[in-house]
Amino acid sequence: MSDGPTYGFDTLQIHAGARPDPATGARQTPIYQTTAYVFRDADHAAALFNLQEVGFIYSRLTNPTVAVLQERIATLEGGVGAVCCSSGHAAQIMALFPLMGPGCNVVASTRLYGGTVTQFSQTIKRFGWSAKFVDTDDLDAVKDAIDENTRAVFCESIANPGGYVTDIRALADVADAAGIPLIVDNTSATPYLCRPIEQGATLVVHSTTKYLTGNGTVTGGCIVDSGKFDWSANDKFPSLSEPEAAYHGLKFHETFGPLAFTFHGIAIGLRDLGMTMNPQAAHYTLLGIETLSLRMERHVENARKIAAWLEADDRVDYVTYAGLPSSPYHDRVQAQYKKGAGALFTFAVKGGYDACVKLVNSLEIFSHVANLGDARSLIIHSASTTHRQLTPEQQEAAGAGPNVVRVSIGIEDADDLIADLDQALAKASA
């Protein structure tokens, strides 16, 4: 699209990054199912490999279908660039990769998806990295956790599984004062409900598997670069500020300016980690994003209605949906998440672990799967599945205790979903 008018979200979710195919005139972005691309001549090939010219070399690095998706997500998030990859977990590693080194740490929220907690507390140790988990509502605790080896603060905008909403602006101020980036996982909120860059985030990550695709067909991830961080302000980020031996001493920040992180993600991250998104997955996600705002409106509308019904039910101990007036996060939602608190939350079932298992097994419309953000309504008992590897203390801190189930409310008829929950709760409490 041109740089002229400022377009609205609904227009951008359909058109951003996409142009008619120059060879055929095809209106929908084609799936460029190819491994490599023919160079014009030897000089063209050399310029591409030296990062002197932008273009397509090999689909581990760049692909025209994936490039459209990258531009679209970056536009919707208000970033300068984006790098798509094979999954949300891949996006997290790729976001940290240019920032970290042996002995470095990331300060992370305790309210994260269980797989992220495991990745940060266990897997990244193999790189010589570490994570410090803190309650990001306690800003003093965040400040105290940051030390000379901290390279980023990491949180989720709407936390999985509990649906807690984060004060991104406050966290960004803490990170800025420490001279480090704030990374926000915006998977559960999507840029329709929350644009973290506008609130001070440096990087935004997504599992595009979830709401952006919206139909449970493909996995994918994305890292969006705000372009606003000064990677050369101190010596903490040598991968971006210092000479890169693999490119004859090129300095990414000096050479590419606001796009330094994006170019590093492609030229180093995808080149060497190989966490590539395939073009068919990019195509499915592009199709999904075209209806993102319409779906999110229905997701939120249904979630509000169902959460209110659950909260009033005697078989339920509590509901964590931040869109409820009773939620301690309700005021934050009104101020910072004006279009709604998403459609992901938990509720505690009276009867504990056994009642939760009965509930899950008794549902008919809700699907029992380890996913969220589908057009279909989904449910899972986190303590026995997604958060099973965590200690009981970590489960409670993440909002995934043994008496809790997580729901991802879909876009079906809300009354049908309530009826399904009603009959399953009756069986669970029998």
Rounded Cα distance, 340 and 343, in Å? 9
The answer to whether residues 238 and 385 belong to one domain is: no
The answer to whether residues 227 and 345 belong to one domain is: no
**Full residue range of the structural domain in which residue 106 is found:** 9-288
Number of domain units in the chain: 2
pLDDT tens column, 366-402: 999 999 999 999 999 988 877 777 788 887 777 778 8
The answer to whether residues 119 and 231 belong to one domain is: yes
- CA-wise closest residue to 409 among 294, 303, 318, 329: 303
Q: Answer whether residue 3 is part of any domain.
A: no
Among residues 239, 261, 288, which one ends one of the domains?
A: 288
Q: Answer whether residue 143 is part of any domain.
A: yes
Among residues 288, 304, 323, which one ends one of the domains?
A: 288
Q: Could you identify the residue written with the tokens 């989720």?
A: 156
Predicted TM-score of the model (pTM): 0.94
3-class SS string, 370-419: CCCCCCCCEEECHHHCCCCCCCHHHHHHCCCCCCEEEEECCCCCHHHHHH
Quick check: 258 and 227 in contact, CB under 8 A?
yes
CATH number, domain containing residue 167? 3.40.640.10
The answer to whether residues 255 and 367 belong to one domain is: no
The answer to whether residues 201 and 258 belong to one domain is: yes
Rounded Cα distance, 196 and 92, in Å? 16
Rounded Cα distance, 342 and 188, in Å? 7
pLDDT tens column, 225-255: 999 999 999 999 999 999 999 999 999 999 9
Structure tokens at 419: 């009826």
pLDDT of the residue at 60: 96
CATH number, domain containing residue 316? 3.90.1150.10
The answer to whether residues 224 and 303 belong to one domain is: no
Written as one string, the DSSP assignment of 282-331 is HHHHHHHHTTHHHHHHHHHHHHHHHHHHHHT-TTEEEE--TTSTTSTTHH
Among residues 288, 303, 333, which one ends one of the domains?
A: 288
The answer to whether residues 202 and 317 belong to one domain is: no
Q: Answer whether residue 401 is part of any domain.
A: yes
pLDDT of the residue at 4: 52
Positions in the chain short of pLDDT 70: 1-5
Q: Answer whether residue 376 is part of any domain.
A: yes
The answer to whether residues 213 and 280 belong to one domain is: yes
pLDDT of the residue at 382: 82
pLDDT of the residue at 281: 98
The answer to whether residues 206 and 57 belong to one domain is: yes
pLDDT of the residue at 22: 87
pLDDT of the residue at 5: 64
pLDDT of the residue at 193: 98
Q: Answer whether residue 229 is part of any domain.
A: yes
Q: Answer whether residue 1 is part of any domain.
A: no
For strand 367-368 and strand 344-349, is the pairing parallel, antiparallel, or unpaired?
Answer: unpaired
Query: Measured at the alpha carbon of residue 4, what is the angle toward residues 3 and 9, in degrees to the nearest 5?
Result: 80
Structure tokens at 235: 């010596």
The answer to whether residues 99 and 182 belong to one domain is: yes
Rounded Cα distance, 29 and 26, in Å? 7
